[in-house]
Amino acid sequence: MVRVMHRRVCLIALGAALAVVALPLAAADAAQQKHPDVLAAKVRPSGTDTFDFDVTVSSPYDTPQRYADAFRVMGNDGAVFGERVLFHDHADEQPFTRDLHGVKIPRAVRIVVVQARDQRFGYGGKTLEVRLPGR
């Protein structure tokens, strides 16, 4: 009975130690991420060759001087069709979703790329390819 209790106490102590160790590793991973990632994008037509986007971004926010401050919709060739500038951090809202309305996209374009920007490091991170409805 004593030996079984000792094992339970050791396992509980080991579990607590692993939980404490896991927190700094997760924080270290977030600190290593330079750019925000685009997690999702919904697109809907809003007129002739015009589209509205709802974009979900996850930012490696760590200070008020560094946050996801924009996202853009562009062609595979790098041509930018629209950009949404964000004027404040989203530290208490991760991930967050914002819209971009009235993006004019040439009729020949069927797929666009959505990319987010970090205030300190610029554009980068995980992008998302989105097929335009009706094309």
Mean pLDDT estimate for the chain: 79
Query: Could you read off the pLDDT of 3-31 as tens digits, one per residue?
Result: 444 444 333 343 333 333 333 333 334 45
What letter would DSSP give residue 102? E
What was the pLDDT predicted at 88?
Answer: 72
Topology given in CATH for the domain delimited by 33-131: Immunoglobulin-like (2.60.40)
Query: Could you read off the pLDDT of 27-84 as tens digits, one per residue?
Result: 334 456 778 999 999 999 999 999 999 999 988 766 777 778 899 999 999 999 999 9
Predicted confidence (pLDDT) at residue 91 exceeds the cutoff of 70: no
Name the E strands within the chain.
37-47, 50-58, 68-74, 80-85, 96-104, 111-118, 122-131
What was the pLDDT predicted at 72?
Answer: 98
Cut 0.85: pTM above it: no
Break the chain into its structural domains and give their ranges. 1-32, 33-131
